[in-house]
Amino acid sequence: MVQAWYAIQVRRNHERVTAAHLEDRGYETFLPLYKSRRRWSDRVKELDLPLFSGYLFCHMDPVNRLAALTSPGVVRIVGIGKSPVAVEEREIAAVRAIVESKLQAEPHDFLQVGERVQIEQGPLRGLTGILLAIENQHRLVVGVTLLKRSVAVGIEEGWAVPIDRAESRRCA
């Protein structure tokens, strides 16, 4: 079988350690992080937290998954029954683009309804997702269907156009 990206469920708060173990075993991993400000009684600290708490992504051939499954912290490879299911390449690319854009991203509830838009300007140009308006700020929500989780990132109002309008511009 061909290598693809798979979601790996890990023990709570073990995302970084498990990613390091997988990389030591020769796997390519992707652990998307976001910055979160946490307040303690005496200070405020900025932390890098996983966008998908309890999960990381691993590029592998599912036939040769034993070394991944036996890595410390791994609970399971997400799939149907005992068969791993690959995460769509475009979803991994979208999450990677969001992380690399350095825009403020955060975990978001998974959405299946809402207006689908395409970003036509800015560092996320070419991505598609769902547009939300929260407290007068526009956000693009991109989901990882297999995990039923999403990432929301702040965008400028003029960057997004509805998918049907974006397609009609290409055809004209």
What is the residue-level pLDDT of the chain in tens, covering all 172 positions? Answer: 589 999 999 999 999 999 999 999 999 999 999 998 888 888 889 899 999 999 999 999 999 899 999 999 999 999 998 899 999 999 999 999 999 998 989 887 665 546 788 898 899 999 999 888 767 788 889 999 999 999 999 998 778 888 875 555 555 5
SS3 of 115, please? Answer: coil
Paired with 153 in beta bridges are 105, 140
Diameter of the chain by CA atoms? 59
Domains and CATH numbers, the chain: 4-84 (3.30.70.940), 92-171 (2.30.30)
Give start and end residues of each alpha helix (H) in the chain: 15-24, 66-69, 89-101, 163-171
Amino acid letter for position 59: H
What's the pTM? 0.76
| CB crowding 70-98: b at 16 or more within 10 Å, else e | ebebbeebbeeeeebbbbeeebbebbebb
